[in-house]
């Protein structure tokens, strides 16, 4: 589905943000990208979604292909029409618009009224609280509800591949667990997911494959279950507390007998 090969990205022609990144998102799977602040996670998503140029970034070399199509020269709107949709870090919902108006904005690229109605029903099934808050302004929602709305707005475009940038950022542990469960359910419904996260426990809990970025390079990659057991990931991203995780993160795929705690920088 998505293939990134030997990707090099700079900002302002001087600051090198990505150095030879290669990864794949197979059809029907969840792929997690882990790393600390400054590792290049958000830059990677910008390069994929076509928003890199809006931040004075440039792909110097390498390729980004989605369903066989070269994405390097495409703008974000074209990428959305192809089925690739990003949920940005920080949610960025329309605070003055209602929940329903935010969702309608997410589906503006489609002229198929029946498809948009089905997409909205899907969002409300995934997030029943949004149905209850449908007439409420986005700015009045809680942080967790705003994140649900941001994901729901992206789902209105019926994506083949959903790009999620730090969906757990700033949320309470209980809500992080709910977000993880929703990501797993979105994938079960047929949408592939590329999940960028600092919360390694949640990310590895829902992912099939995982990559670890370190200063713009891939330092580790493999099956999420196997990476969760490596000494390096345990030490740098998961930690040890002897009591397991307190964040409510699902153990959908990367569950193991060894209990993990949320990594905090």
Domains of the chain plus CATH, in order, are 2-83+159-238 (3.40.50.300)
Please choose, from the candidates 83, 74, 124, the residue with its C-alpha nearest in 3D space to the C-alpha of residue 102: 124
Instruction: Find out whether 143 and 170 touch, Cβ atoms under 8 Å.
Output: yes
In tens, the pLDDT along 39-68 reads 899 999 999 999 998 888 999 999 999 998
Could you give the 3-state DSSP secondary structure of residue 99?
A: helix
Please choose, from the candidates 111, 116, 10, 102, the residue with its C-alpha nearest in 3D space to the C-alpha of residue 62: 10
pLDDT of residue 127: 94
Beta strands in 113-235 (DSSP E): 161-165, 192-197, 209-214, 217-223
Over residues 194-214, the mean pLDDT reads 93
pTM beyond 0.75: the answer is yes
Token pair of 17, please? 């943000």
d(CA 230, CA 232) in angstroms, rounded, equals 5
- Residue 5 above 80 pLDDT? yes
């Amino acid at each position: 589905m998505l293939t990134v090969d030997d990707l090099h990205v700079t900002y302002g022609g001087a600051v090198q943000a990505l150095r030879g990144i290669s990864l794949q998102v197979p059809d029907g799977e969840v792929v997690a990208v882990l790393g600390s602040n400054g590792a290049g996670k958000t830059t990677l998503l910008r390069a994929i979604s076509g928003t890199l140029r809006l931040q004075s970034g440039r792909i110097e070399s390498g390729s980004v292909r989605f369903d066989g199509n070269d994405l390097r020269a495409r703008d974000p709107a074209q990428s959305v029409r192809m089925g690739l949709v990003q949920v940005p870090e920080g949610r960025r919902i329309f605070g003055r618009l209602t929940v329903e108006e935010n969702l309608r904005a997410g589906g503006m690229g489609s002229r198929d009224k029946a498809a948009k109605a089905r997409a909205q029903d899907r969002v409300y099934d995934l997030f029943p609280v949004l149905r209850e808050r449908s007439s409420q302004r986005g700015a009045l929602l809680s942080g967790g509800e705003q994140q649900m709305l941001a994901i729901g707005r992206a789902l209105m475009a019926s994506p083949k591949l959903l790009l999620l940038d730090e969906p757990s950022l700033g949320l309470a542990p209980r809500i992080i667990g709910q977000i993880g469960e929703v990501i797993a359910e979105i994938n079960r419904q047929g949408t592939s997911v590329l999940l960028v996260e600092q919360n390694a426990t949640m990310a590895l809990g829902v992912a099939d494959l995982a990559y670890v970025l370190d200063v713009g390079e891939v330092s580790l990659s493999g099956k999420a279950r196997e990476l969760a057991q490596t000494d390096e990931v345990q030490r740098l991203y998961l930690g040890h507390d002897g009591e397991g995780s307190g964040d409510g993160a699902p153990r959908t795929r990367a569950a193991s007998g060894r209990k993990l705690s949320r990594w905090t920088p």
